[in-house]
Amino acid sequence: MELELKNVSKEFSGVHAVNHVSFSMKKGVYGLLGVNGAGKTTLMRMLCTLIRPTGGEILWNGKNILGLGADYRNILGYLPQDFGYYPDLSIYDYMMYIASIKGIRQGAARKRTKQLLGQVGLAKYEKRKMKTLSGGMARRVGIAQAMLNNPQILVLDEPTAGLDPNERIRFRNLISELSEDRLVLLSTHIVSDVEFIANQIMLMKNGRFFYAGTTEDLVSSMEESVWHCTVPKQSVNDFVGKYLVDNVKTVPGGAELRILSKVPPTKQAVREEATLEDAFLLYFGEKAGDKDDTEI
Amino acid sequence: MILKYELKKVFSKKMNRIVLIAALLAAVALSVFAIGSVRYVGEDGAGHTGLTASRHLAADRNRWKGGLTGDKIAQVVSSEKEIRLQYPDDVPNEIYGKTLQSYNDIENFVIGVLTPDTVWDTGVLYQLEDEQAKNLYSIYEKNLQEMAGKYGETPEQQRFLTEQYEKTELPLTYEAKDSWDTIVMYVETYAMILAIVIGFLAAGIFAEEFRSRADAVYFSSRYGRTNAAKNKVMAGLLMTTIVYWAGMGIMSLVSLGVMGISGVSTPYQIYQPYSIYAMTYGQYYLLAVLCGYIASLLAASVTMLIAAKMRSANVAVCVPFFLFCVMPFIGRALSAFLTFFKLTPDMLLNVIECAKNPNIFQIGNYVFRQIPCIMLLYFVISIILLPFVYRSYHRYGLKK
């Protein structure tokens, strides 16, 4: 089981959304991190055969996925970032329709639909129309439809976008549960989504992977340290301008700052353990999820 | 299973349901109009419309039912002359109800035979001698030959027209055909409504994925580009067939159920003696219904193609309206292109005019009539477009 990107590029009107990416993925959870506009969605759409790469090729077990066609899509499950559905169908009918276009026989589709809806906690809502579902419920249907064909490759594009913290945690656990024996590629710009469940992290910026490895390796590769200090309120802006500030918390008599720096920002600064979010801030130069660019 | 759920997608959409209910209401409304448009005058001279008018009218006219022999024609002409002598200005309603109404169709047939390709002149009836009336079919046959020569511009066309005219069996048979006359008129109106409705529904089949942003899941599924796309095309055709025949069936059942089916075997020539379509009123009705079905198929194919190409139903849903409602006005405005506009899709919904007029075309030695030509042409176009519809879904996003 190997999904290989060989020098893959995608160009839109002269702009490289994905720029000569080469990478190989096997079984496990891969977290694709990047700010909005980094090229994550474009890469995922190419992996799902929705768009053709301008250059390079994507291979599944050594064969071009576009050549494999339906055989490749048969082992693929995809939850797009902008998950759309047929609003007038019930959850059950929606699942059955997707099962039918995935080539699952009716009997098996019924069984699998019941099982998956149970797994995502929607069994009792199966008769409800899709248009009446909350964002979180719709996303759960999204993951269920992606799992219908028990895919070897599960591609999840920003699966937690728009979910509240509870839904996000539930979703993360669900993905972790479903990731056994398959390749899961999960893109996000929310670090906590992948921090604990991804075996491998890929950082993507301007259409390129500039880091790939484990969370621990990524964090330990940082030259900067994480510092915690309390400063007067009026000097917060000076610190924000001078350092990469991860967090600002107002407290009586000042503000507590979490700062990334090679040297202690104040004499009283205390060193803290670095996290993936700190690495994200360091490499992307902004706090995760703050920027809201249009996704490419 | 794909087809079942594809159809479910079509019929579960709220807007589609509203449109279908509107189409159903239109069927009922048009049936009511059709039934209400038949007027019967009783022997007391009182006019009646409504549920029983059509059957009473048929019963009255069917006094003349059977072979329309020369003697019967002479009897009608003689009766008409007598009444007109008595009432030169205006025939009282009682007399109309007792006598004239019953043979009105036969009277019109005689005038039609005697005024080929000229202005409708009721006066010819009164100039007709008793013997001439008995031999009306000889005049008719002679005129048919003349018309073949007049309408045919080449020897091939003249031969073709002669062959068509020879298909009319003489003497004609008569049975009151008012219900068929009426229903064909409403079939054309309703077929236009259905073509627009079907175009609207069909456009949604190929635009829904994009409208609801479900395209990513659809096209990344195993059969999204192959079997599922084929099933969408199938669903379009099946939906067209179901909606059209259900709608038309309801309208026909209600209308004919009330008005009756008297005249199903009456030759169309009773109404248009020089028509080049030798058919009965039943066949005339079927022809109009079938042309309407082909118009709906065309509407479905064209809108599916445009929706699939444009990834939106907005433009696609307007196309049937343009083809069937706007085109006739353009045709009238651009009279210089008369031949072209005799072959445009709107003609499928204008069988009444097409059947009346001797429109023929010739390619080489082959001569053909307008109605079979447009039926074949647009049926073939409807089918030919389907692989292109499939192809635009099959290759979605993968063009180099």
Q: Tell me the DSSP string of B300-333.
A: HHHHHHHHHHHT-STTTTHHHHIIIIIHHHHHHH
Please list, in sequence order, all residues whose beta carbon lies within 8 angstroms of the beta carbon of residue A135, skipping any fewer than 6 positions away.
A162, A163, A167
The reported pLDDT for the residue numbered A234 is 85
Using the predicted structure, report yes or no on whether residue A289 has a pLDDT greater than 70.
no
Per cent of chain A over pLDDT 90 is 46
Provide the 8-state DSSP code for B100: I
The reported pLDDT for the residue numbered A293 is 40
Across the interface, of A51, A93, A146, the residue whose CB is closest to B5 is: A93
Using the predicted structure, report yes or no on whether residue B119 has a pLDDT greater than 50.
yes
The reported pLDDT for the residue numbered A222 is 81
Residues of B in contact with A52 (CB under 8 A): 397-400
pLDDT one-digit tens code per residue, A237-285? 888 888 888 888 888 888 888 888 888 888 888 888 888 888 888 888 7
Confidence of residue A287 (pLDDT cuts 50, 70, 90): very low
- pTM value? 0.87
Using the predicted structure, report yes or no on whether residue A294 has a pLDDT greater than 50.
no
pLDDT one-digit tens code per residue, A152-192? 999 999 888 777 788 788 888 888 887 888 999 999 877 88
Q: Among A96-105, A219-228, B39-48, whose mean pLDDT is lowest?
A: A219-228
SS (H, E, C) chain A: CCEEEEEEEEEECCEEEEEEEEEEECCEEEEEECCCCCCHHHHHHHHCCCCCCCEEEEEECCEEHHHHCHHHHCCEEEECCCCCCCCCCEHHHHHHHHHHHCCCCHHHHHHHHHHHHHHCCCHHHCCCEHHHCCHHHHHHHHHHHHHCCCCCEEEEECCCCCCCHHHHHHHHHHHHHHCCCCEEEEEECCCHHHHCCCCEEEEEECCEEEEEECHHHHHHCCCCEEEEEEECHHHHHHHHHHCEEEEEEEECCEEEEEEEECCCCCCCCEEECCCHHHHHHHHHCCCCCCCCCCCC
Residues of A in contact with B13 (CB under 8 A): 88
Q: How many Cβ atoms are within 10 Å of B163's Cβ, its own excluded?
A: 12
Confidence of residue A135 (pLDDT cuts 50, 70, 90): confident
Confidence of residue B8 (pLDDT cuts 50, 70, 90): very high
User: B204 — contact with chain A (CB < 8 Å)?
Assistant: no
The reported pLDDT for the residue numbered A288 is 41
- A237-246 long-range contacts, CB within 8 A, separation 24+: A239/A265, A244/A281, A244/A282, A244/A285, A246/A277, A246/A278, A246/A281, A246/A287
The reported pLDDT for the residue numbered B339 is 82
- pLDDT mean over B287-297: 97
Q: Among A81-95, A277-291, B39-53, B178-192, whose mean pLDDT is lowest?
A: A277-291
pLDDT one-digit tens code per residue, A97-126? 999 999 999 999 999 999 999 988 899 999
Confidence of residue B159 (pLDDT cuts 50, 70, 90): very high
Using the predicted structure, report yes or no on whether residue A296 has a pLDDT greater than 60.
no
User: Residue B78 to residues B84, B107, B131, B132: CA-CA distances in angstroms?
Assistant: 10, 11, 11, 11
Give the angle subtended at the CA of A52 by the CAs of A46 and A55, to the nearest 5°: 100
Between A247 and B220, the higher pLDDT residue? B220
The reported pLDDT for the residue numbered A274 is 84
The rounded distance, in Å, linking the Cα atoms of A167 and A173 is 10
3-state secondary structure of B365: coil
Using the predicted structure, report yes or no on whether residue A203 has a pLDDT greater than 80.
yes
Using the predicted structure, report yes or no on whether residue A23 has a pLDDT greater than 50.
yes
The reported pLDDT for the residue numbered B338 is 81
The reported pLDDT for the residue numbered B90 is 86
Q: Which of A42, A52, A101 to mutate to test the interface with B (most CBs of B within 10 A)?
A: A101
Per cent of chain B over pLDDT 70 is 100
User: B219 — contact with chain A (CB < 8 Å)?
Assistant: yes
The reported pLDDT for the residue numbered B200 is 96
- Tell me: cis bond preceding B171? Omega within 30 of 0 counts: yes
Indicate yes or no: CB of A80 within 8 angstroms of CB of B398.
Answer: no
Residues of A in contact with B230 (CB under 8 A): none
- pLDDT mean over A72-88: 93
The reported pLDDT for the residue numbered B222 is 93
Using the predicted structure, report yes or no on whether residue B36 has a pLDDT greater than 60.
yes
- A164-172 long-range contacts, CB within 8 A, separation 24+: A164/A136, A167/A135, A167/A136, A167/A139, A168/A192, A168/A193, A170/A121, A170/A136, A171/A136, A171/A139, A171/A140, A171/A143, A172/A196, A172/A197
Question: Considering chain B, what is the average pLDDT of its residues?
Answer: 92
pLDDT one-digit tens code per residue, B83-109? 988 888 888 899 999 889 999 999 999
Indicate yes or no: CB of A89 within 8 angstroms of CB of B9.
Answer: yes
User: A101 — contact with chain B (CB < 8 Å)?
Assistant: yes
Strand partners, A209: A204
Residue A49: closest C-alpha in chain B: B220
The reported pLDDT for the residue numbered B400 is 65
- pLDDT mean over B281-293: 97
Using the predicted structure, report yes or no on whether residue B184 has a pLDDT greater than 50.
yes
* Min Cα–Cα distance to chain A from B215, Å: 8
Using the predicted structure, report yes or no on whether residue B282 has a pLDDT greater than 90.
yes
The reported pLDDT for the residue numbered A291 is 43
- pLDDT mean over B304-333: 90
Residues of A in contact with B208 (CB under 8 A): 86
pLDDT one-digit tens code per residue, B43-75? 898 888 888 899 999 999 999 999 999 999 999
The reported pLDDT for the residue numbered A283 is 82
Confidence of residue B125 (pLDDT cuts 50, 70, 90): confident
- pLDDT mean over B218-238: 94
The reported pLDDT for the residue numbered A57 is 94
Hunting for tokens 């004609």 — which residue is that? B172
Confidence of residue A286 (pLDDT cuts 50, 70, 90): low
Q: Which of B205, B213, B217, B234 to mutate to test the interface with A (most CBs of A within 10 A)?
A: B217
- pLDDT mean over B111-118: 89
* Min Cα–Cα distance to chain B from A190, Å: 22
